[in-house]
Structure 1
Amino acid sequence: MRLWPRSLAGRIAALTLLALMISQLVSFVLFMHERDRFLERVILANMADNVAAAMRTLDFVPADERAQAVAALSTHDLRYRLASTPGRTFVGASDTAKRFARDMARSMEIDVARVRVAVGPGLARRPNRRAGDALRMAVRLDDGQWLRARQRVFDPTRHWARSSLLTLAVSGLLMAVIVVVTSRRITAPLRDLARAAERFGRGETVEPLPEYGAEDIRRSVAAFNLMRERLARFVADRTRMVAAIAHDLRTPITALRLRLEFLPDDDNTRAMAATLDDMARMSEASLTFMREEAATEPSRNVDLSALVDALCEDYRAAGATVAFEPDTRVALVCRPAAIRRALRNLIDNALTYGQRAQLTLSDTPEAVTICIADDGPGIAETDRQRVFDPFVRLESSRSRDTGGTGLGLSIARSVVQGHGGEITLANRAEGGLSVQIRLPRTGTI
């Protein structure tokens, strides 16, 4: 199946050419069969006429001159000879030879008992230059002698097979060009649909696609446009709702803080103030998350290694232990601000829980991989998917006491998935956590 095309246009072309080849081969086999039948009839009719003419001629030739007459009637392809017996050639004649004998006797209007026929390889097995004696015939004359005839057959249509194969090759080539061009035009709307779906899956803004092409394709494009509109409206409504809730929480939180000012300063009021601060941070983080989700940044081709190096340099300038050694320039089509925000969240986590961050960048023809490693305690395997949920903070070293709101990994995963990539967590053998980001090269300039 490796030879089978993967694209729809290629499969249409392959199926059309395969159907053409099968139909041409069937036609060729039928043609060769009918050609052999036609050749049989022509040879039999011609030989029967010639032998009948030779018999009539010998009726007017004296007996002592018949040998010379037979020699004069002979040609290169049809030779005659007089003999007292039909010869051993006709002993055990095949069914085909018997059928030929009946047909030739009927054509010559004589009794079939006077006719003997032997079929050679030329007539029964496709005539060719090496056929030799294709047909032998013996007819008993009125005086009891046997007129032996030997017909040599050369295939007058031997070039038909080559012509048919040449016609098949030329027809296949022309058909291939026509089918490839036509199928590419037919599947062009599907290619546009696939590109638009891939961009929409990365979170980019996609304009409605033009609906053209075959009826089924137009319906598919129309369904995609409707789905895109509904999803965009749903996401926008959800974002506005969550942002409104987070914004409206500011008022009761502020009111509760004012009421706490009039209460005595003790452990209970300090605990309540801490809870309100935590709620305020969560509310602000939710608003920030919703604003970033709603932001539409265009994708462009950027030097990813330079982007990562500049980000790490900012951390190093602030005294953080962040290591990155760019090897070569790695170009990728992405939303640079979103990628920078995701990397910043992951580096902040690595510094908070592992005191240092080690970044590496690897490049392949299919994808770019960024790895952020730290020296922290790592994350249990059962928690590696849960930590991506919003506001989830583990109870070990990654607790509320660190001051995080639990949205950093959620934002990072949202950004990575918006680029069609994936983010995975794994504990390092030497200790610490390794975060791996894989960004596919789909859409790279």
Structure 2
Amino acid sequence: MLGRLGFAGRLMAIVLFALIALWAAGLGWLFLSESREEILRRVFPVPEQVSAIVQLIEGAQPAERPLILKAVSSARLQVTLAQERPEASAETMRRPLAERFLTLYLQSLQPRDVIVLRPRNGLPRLRDWHLGDNWRNISRSVRFAVSLRERGYVVFEATGAAGPRLLGLPPGFGVGLLGALIGIAAVIAIAREARPLRQLSQSLGQFSSDATVAHVKPAGAPEIRRLISAVNDMQTRISELVRGRTLLLGAVSHDLKTYITRLRLRVERLPEPEQRDKAAADLDEMTRLLEDALAVSRGGFAAIQRQPVDVAALLTEIVEDRRQGGAPIRAELGHMPLTILAEPTALRRLFINLIENALRFATRCTVRLLPDSGVVIAIDDDGPGIPAEARSAVFEPFFRLENSRSRSTGGSGLGLAIVKQIADAHGASLDLSQSPEGGLRVRIAFPQAG
């Protein structure tokens, strides 16, 4: 389970597990430190004491009884005399089981009427709740009465808690509450300290997709601030290197295209048509190779300016253009618009590269919409396909399954690299698999525009 949690989540889980262990230890200590008999013996008077008090009051003169009541009463035990039989009320109820239990232990006083009253269970209504109820409820315990041989009752009221209290709460509960408050404060502090790392992770994810520098403000511990500063500097340097490479390739491409244009003008003067056509074809191949190399260098910046694009309309246009040229291609895209946020020129190049790659090695090609969430396009062909062990390597620049490097038997090895970069820049997933038609299936999943 911890493997799915981030840095902050792991620290929070550790704190929560420690708190749970603390609470469990506190509960265990509460239940094992004292038995129920020890608690009852500390709170309530023993039967022999009750019997002695009753006998002492019965043997004393009426004038002496108030003095005896003062002598036997304490902070935990209040002894009074009542002329009427105590009865249950809306706040109290009788406990028959406790009455029978106490009667058995007062055998020397039999026969006596024993009445035990306890507060009713249940929480009060919200409007009846008062701030002082906690302290009042602490003193509200068991009240019982033993009848005298003459008229009247000796009323015993055992008050106080079953153990030591801190602000009206048991120490174990107080420790647990304090631990919970400390744990909550620790979780908040951990989340606050981990926030710079989360922002740094988001910044790196954005940088890897489009090479746009998104600096994070250094915050947190000194080590984290130094890490953020180092990553910010690294992003700046990498971005400058990438843009410098792009400018260099652009400049080289521009200069080479100038020389290619001059060579094309000179080729037009060749006397032999066959040699002139071959030279022109070579120049065209050189131009396309330069454009592909430049596209690879700019691939990470393809999706800077996005706009809503109807993928279905775009693919239908591409397929119709190829079909009019005699290509064996068809489309199964339905009639609903499929809108995504994309850079139109880059997206068109992505689909053209994939379709032309399929048509180059297959006898037919099908472009279809797959039933899935988002916009998922599949391009299927009946060609030889790509071996499973080479399906990740074909996206590398200049990689070709055919090693002769001949342009007649394959492309420049940049087509799928361009496709991969454009797909990554648009947040799309790209994978290769076996096609139902026997060849290769290229599956592109785009996030649908909201």
**TM-score > 0.5 by shorter chain:** yes
| Displacement after TM superposition at 1:379 (Å) | 3.5
Is it true that 1:241 corresponds to 2:248 in the alignment?
yes
Paired residue secondary structure (1:415): helix
Counterpart of 1:12 in structure 2 is: 11
Paired residue secondary structure (1:423): strand
Could you say if the C-alpha distance between residues 299 and 257 of structure 1 is closer, same or farther in structure 2, counting changes exceeding 3 Å?
closer
Counterpart of 1:322 in structure 2 is: 330
Could you say if the C-alpha distance between residues 386 and 195 of structure 1 is closer, same or farther in structure 2, counting changes exceeding 3 Å?
closer
Q: What TM-score comes out, normalization by structure 1 length?
A: 0.59
| Displacement after TM superposition at 1:210 (Å) | 1.5
The correspondence of residues 19-418 of structure 1 with structure 2, limited to 5 A, is 19-23=18-22, 75-76=49-50, 158-159=162-163, 163-203=170-210, 205-258=212-265, 260=267, 264-265=271-272, 271-290=278-297, 293-295=300-302, 297-298=304-305, 307-318=310-321, 320=323, 321-326=329-334, 338-352=346-360, 353-364=362-373, 369-381=376-388, 384-391=391-398, 400-401=407-408, 405-418=412-425
Could you say if the C-alpha distance between residues 158 and 368 of structure 1 is closer, same or farther in structure 2, counting changes exceeding 3 Å?
farther
Q: Structure 1 stretch 327-336 or stretch 345-354: which is displaced more?
A: 327-336
**Is the CA contact (8 Å cut-off) linking 2:246 and 2:294 kept in structure 1?**
no
Aligned equivalents of 2:296, 2:4: Cα separation in 1: 44
Paired residue secondary structure (2:193): helix
Aligned equivalents of 2:164, 2:363: Cα separation in 1: 82
| Displacement after TM superposition at 1:34 (Å) | 8.2
**Is the CA contact (8 Å cut-off) linking 2:311 and 2:338 kept in structure 1?**
no
Specify the structure having the higher radius of gyration (Cα). 1
Aligned equivalents of 1:214, 1:253: Cα separation in 2: 58
Paired residue secondary structure (2:218): coil
Residue 217 of structure 2 aligns to which amino acid in structure 1? P
Residue 214 of structure 2 aligns to which amino acid in structure 1? E
| Displacement after TM superposition at 1:410 (Å) | 1.8
| Displacement after TM superposition at 1:414 (Å) | 0.9
Segments of structure 1 that go 5 or more residues without pairing to the other structure are 48-73, 80-128, 134-153
Aligned residue-pair number: 335
Paired residue secondary structure (1:158): coil
Residue 313 of structure 2 aligns to which amino acid in structure 1? A
Q: Structure 1 stretch 233-242 or stretch 158-167: which is displaced more?
A: 158-167
Could you say if the C-alpha distance between residues 361 and 194 of structure 1 is closer, same or farther in structure 2, counting changes exceeding 3 Å?
farther
Q: What TM-score comes out, normalization by structure 2 length?
A: 0.58
Aligned equivalents of 1:21, 1:182: Cα separation in 2: 19
**Is the CA contact (8 Å cut-off) linking 1:10 and 1:180 kept in structure 2?**
no
Aligned equivalents of 2:430, 2:10: Cα separation in 1: 35
Residue 230 of structure 1 aligns to which amino acid in structure 2? R
Residue 213 of structure 1 aligns to which amino acid in structure 2? G
Could you say if the C-alpha distance between residues 344 and 155 of structure 1 is closer, same or farther in structure 2, counting changes exceeding 3 Å?
farther
C-alpha distance after superposition, 1:89-115 (max 9, x if no partner): xxxxxxxxxxxxxxxxxxxxxxxxxxx
Aligned equivalents of 1:361, 1:173: Cα separation in 2: 51
Could you say if the C-alpha distance between residues 350 and 174 of structure 1 is closer, same or farther in structure 2, counting changes exceeding 3 Å?
same
C-alpha distance after superposition, 1:256-283 (max 9, x if no partner): 4455556552766654444333223322
**Is the CA contact (8 Å cut-off) linking 1:205 and 1:296 kept in structure 2?**
no
Q: 2:440 aligns with which of 408, 427, 433?
A: 433
C-alpha distance after superposition, 1:188-239 (max 9, x if no partner): 2222212211111211523322122222322222122112111101111222
Residue 361 of structure 1 aligns to which amino acid in structure 2? L
C-alpha distance after superposition, 1:263-313 (max 9, x if no partner): 55276665444433322332244345545555562457x5xxx72211123
**Is the CA contact (8 Å cut-off) linking 2:292 and 2:418 kept in structure 1?**
no
Segments of structure 2 that go 5 or more residues without pairing to the other structure are 54-100, 106-157, 324-328
| Displacement after TM superposition at 1:326 (Å) | 4.5
RMSD of aligned Cα (Å): 4.6
Residue 350 of structure 2 aligns to which amino acid in structure 1? A
**Is the CA contact (8 Å cut-off) linking 1:324 and 1:359 kept in structure 2?**
yes
